[in-house]
């Protein structure tokens, strides 16, 4: 009984998290992944992924707790806003990938978009925290099995 109560409480405190990664001039994977409070992971691969299309899996309560901790550590709800290349004295870098992280926690929600080479008015610490959160989302969601290795994606680029 105690673990069921804990699982319910953990679900209530875990936000829905979305990560989107964009293209570059090379073989950067283009995809989105969503993790819901009940542990469902939904992946949609678009380009330079070894398993394109929609895929799903479920993660454990421990993984959800790690995700909640990562979101809290990133303090993304207080960073908020959109850090968009081309705004706030930020140079647009056309051949670099970027990513966006969305966090939906009850009525609170925020999207944070950060180019890999663009701080766009954000502090270096904020960008580092968002980037670390994006990597942690990938790790917890298990996206590597759909994305593949860099070498596998490089071979995809060479196909006609």
pLDDT (0 to 100) of residue 159: 53
pLDDT (0 to 100) of residue 85: 43
Per-residue confidence in pLDDT tens, the chain, 160 aa: 344 433 444 444 788 999 999 888 878 899 999 999 999 999 999 999 999 999 999 999 999 999 999 999 988 777 755 544 444 444 555 566 778 888 887 767 666 766 543 444 566 777 788 889 999 999 999 999 999 998 888 887 655 5
- Output the pTM of the full model: 0.80
Q: Shortest CA distance to 130 belongs to which of 147, 107, 155, 111?
A: 111
Task: Tell me the chain's radius of gyration from C-alpha atoms.
Answer: 16
Q: Which domains does the chain have, with CATH numbers?
A: 2-147 (3.30.1560.10)
Q: For residue 127, what are the contacts with CB-CB under 8 A and spacing of at least 6?
A: 83, 114, 119
pLDDT (0 to 100) of residue 10: 42
Q: Which two tokens stand for residue 92?
A: 């647009």
Q: How far apart (Å, rounded) are the C-alpha atoms in residues 79 and 114?
A: 12
């Amino acid at each position: 009984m105690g673990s069921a109560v804990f699982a319910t409480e953990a679900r209530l405190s875990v936000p829905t998290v979305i990560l989107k990664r964009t293209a570059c001039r090379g073989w950067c994977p283009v995809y989105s992944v969503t993790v819901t409070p009940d542990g469902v992971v939904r992946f949609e691969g678009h380009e330079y992924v070894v398993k394109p299309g929609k895929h799903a899996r479920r993660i454990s309560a421990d993984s959800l707790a790690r995700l909640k901790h990562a979101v809290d550590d990133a303090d993304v709800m207080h960073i908020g806003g959109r850090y968009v290349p081309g705004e706030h004295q930020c140079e647009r870098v056309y051949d670099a990938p970027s990513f966006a992280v969305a966090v939906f926690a009850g009525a609170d929600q925020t999207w944070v978009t950060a180019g890999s080479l663009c701080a766009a008015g954000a502090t270096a610490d904020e960008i580092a925290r968002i980037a670390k959160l994006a990597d942690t989302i990938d790790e917890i969601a298990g996206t590597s099995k759909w994305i593949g290795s860099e070498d596998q994606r490089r071979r995809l680029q060479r196909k006609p």
